[in-house]
Amino acid sequence: MRAVFYIACHSENGYRPGIKEIAENINSPEHFLAKILQKLSKEGIVSSIKGPNGGFFIEANGLHRPLADIITSLEGDEIFTGCGMGLSYCSETNPCPLHSEFKKVRNQLTQMLYSTTIGEFNEDLLSGALTLKK
């Protein structure tokens, strides 16, 4: 998510940061980040251009995507449906010890991630209401 937000902030003015710059600014290993950005690019969340003036950017329509798209692109939807203890048999009829309380939290998280767009979050970053740095 940090990489997407970093790219989105810089996409506002047409700048396209490269992998090295993004990795340094979000404190992430370059190789690891490259794999993540490759997945996000396949899903159309971020775009990239190769070459000396290349880099990563988010197109205007990408800013309308919910934050949940970032997570599902990388991890699948297990966070929105799975058991808090990771138990495959956990269900309404066979609940684990955390089931009821975790379900409440999971539903709140799901609601927030599906109702907040990348662009909304980006607006708060650009205005200074939120920050990615200390």
User: What string of DSSP letters covers 7-48?
Assistant: HHHHHTTT----HHHHHHHHT--HHHHHHHHHHHHHTTSSEE
- The radius of gyration computed from the CA coordinates of the chain, to the nearest angstrom, equals 17
Bridge partner list, 117: 66
Per-residue pLDDT of the chain (134 residues), as tens digits, is 999 999 999 988 889 999 999 999 999 999 999 999 999 999 999 999 998 888 999 998 899 999 999 999 999 988 898 999 999 999 999 999 999 999 999 999 999 999 999 998 888 888 888 777 76
Report the SS3 class of residue 78.
helix
pLDDT at 134 (0 to 100): 63
Considering only CA atoms, which of 108, 102, 117, 95 is closest in space to residue 1? 117
So what's the pLDDT on residue 69? 96
| Extents of the domains making up the chain | 1-64+118-134, 66-116
Amino acid type, 63: L
CATH number of 1-64+118-134: 1.10.10.10
